[in-house]
Amino acid sequence: MLASPKGITMSDTTTPHATSGRGWGYAGALLGGLVSIAANVAHSYIPPTSTPADWHPPIGDVVGAVFWPVALFVAIEILARTKWPRAKRWVFVRFLGLLPVAVVTAIVSYGHLSGLLAHYSESWLTAHLGPLAVDGLMVMASSALMATAPGRTPDTAGQTESAGVDTALDTIADSTPDTAPVTKPKRIRTASAKPSRTSTGAKVVALAAKHPDMTSVEMAKRLGVSDRTIRRHLSASTVSAPAPVEAAPVLAPLAA
């Protein structure tokens, strides 16, 4: 026997196209994270107004500048990659606990990047929209890595990737038939719509008795049968009709 073909849905495994795109996801997350960290650290080196020429930022400011983009990346990873239970309390913990942390870190990192661009005398539009590209690249790259993770490729309704037919011989353990036995539908005999010979013969005899001068052709048209059928029934009725019995003559008694 031959094994039955199997279908593999797109959600069961990672497609080669999705696997090849993960490299760009890693590159985007690394690039966005490094640029965000570098910009936050550079912002900590901007001297305040009326400071001496030999001013240096405190070490705490530099460490804090590194913390914000890293905290944003970690919060996004926890929100996205952790398999949270479906209970309502975990939904509240997820969106009322971690989500505000991610929002706060994003706002602080945005402020540092925007202040750095303004310090470099960039335009108002660049200073306010540029930070969105840096942190946004890191966020979207992390989302792409999560979406293309093994076993978690996007489902497409109605799309399946059919595998080739397995032509290997079945083993003893594989006793399931490859295909269901095909049963032929039973033919149901219906009653014939043709009149029986007895009823046709009776009609022919009755019609011949009623119209003795009618030809067989006319009788066939009247009854809706063939001329041969009419002649067959007429000959049969003639043969089966009993011959008349002649009465024996009554002899008169002899006179004495």
| pLDDT tens digit sequence for 216-243 | 888 888 888 888 888 888 887 775 555 5
Q: Which CATH number fits domain 197-239: 1.10.3470, 1.10.10, 1.25.40, 3.30.1370?
A: 1.10.10
Phi/psi at 171 (5° precision): -90, 180
d(CA 23, CA 32): 14
Q: Considering the chain, tell me which residue range(s) the CATH 1.10.10 domain(s) occupy.
A: 197-239
SS3 7: strand
| % of the chain at pLDDT higher than 90 | 5
d(CA 97, CA 94): 6
Task: Report if pTM > 0.85.
Answer: no
d(CA 69, CA 44): 14
User: What type of residue sits at position 164?
Assistant: G
Asked if pLDDT for residue 51 goes beyond 70, the answer is yes
d(CA 230, CA 208): 10
Q: CB under 8 Å to 230, separation ≥6 — which residues?
A: 204, 216, 219, 220, 223
- Higher pLDDT, residue 67 or 166: 67
Q: Where are the beta strands (DSSP E) in the chain?
A: 7-9, 160-162
pLDDT for 1: 44
Binned at pLDDT 50, 70 and 90, residue 246 comes out as low
Asked if pLDDT for residue 10 goes beyond 60, the answer is no
- Higher pLDDT, residue 127 or 245: 127
State pLDDT tens for residues 67-100.
888 888 888 778 777 787 888 888 888 778 778 8
- Higher pLDDT, residue 52 or 4: 52
